[in-house]
């Protein structure tokens, strides 16, 4: 029989309150991006928080944005889109070694709709956010959020408004 050692981080569990607040944080990010409240999205990051996101179309090159102002500037690209819709489809939250840190694996399907001359289309990103969270006096915030783009599909859509 093999003996398994449990690390202190694995032995520690997030409280129900922490789980609720962290879940709210990841869902609030999606909603605020879709509603174009970019300053509010940036406020969800620690002052020195980092967003790692695709640097351009295709998502193969990544850019690191450090600090709330840089995060907000990076997200202005969504303003050029006709609509976005971020569906959070999986949330796995894990306690870290300390009470003030946690990590997350957040699965998301992100729709990016562009109005075209002849038809509208949706570039759909199937992605995972690799998150590091830090508890602050204002509650849990993103210390780091890195986008891992799994695959992209494009499809024609019809906008209703």
The tens-digit pLDDT sequence of the chain (161 residues) is: 444 444 454 558 999 999 999 999 999 999 999 999 999 999 999 999 999 998 765 556 889 999 999 999 999 999 999 999 999 999 999 999 899 999 999 999 999 999 988 899 999 999 999 999 999 999 999 999 999 999 999 999 988 87
CB 52 within 8 A of CB 145: yes
- Nearest CA-CA partner of 140 in 11, 8, 15, 12: 15
Q: How far apart are CA 3 and CA 143, in angstroms?
A: 34
At residue 76's C-alpha, the angle toward residues 71 and 81, to 5°, is 140
Please state which CATH number belongs to domain 12-157.
3.10.450.50
Q: What pLDDT score was predicted for residue 5? A: 46
pTM higher than 0.95: no
């Amino acid at each position: 029989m093999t003996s398994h050692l449990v690390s202190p981080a694995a032995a520690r569990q997030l409280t129900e309150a922490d789980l609720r607040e962290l879940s709210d944080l990841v869902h609030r990010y999606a909603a605020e991006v879709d509603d174009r409240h970019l300053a509010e999205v940036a406020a969800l990051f620690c002052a020195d928080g980092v967003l790692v996101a695709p640097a351009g179309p295709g998502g193969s090159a990544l850019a690191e944005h450090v600090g709330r102002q840089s995060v907000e500037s990076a997200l202005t690209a969504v303003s050029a889109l006709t609509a976005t819709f971020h569906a959070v489809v999986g949330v796995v939250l894990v306690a870290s070694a300390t009470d003030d840190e946690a990590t997350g694996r957040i699965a998301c399907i992100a729709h990016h709709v562009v109005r075209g001359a002849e038809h509208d289309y949706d570039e759909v990103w199937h992605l995972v956010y690799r998150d590091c969270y830090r508890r602050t006096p204002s509650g849990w915030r993103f210390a780091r959020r890195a986008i891992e783009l799994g695959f992209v599909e494009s499809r024609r859509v019809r906008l209703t408004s």
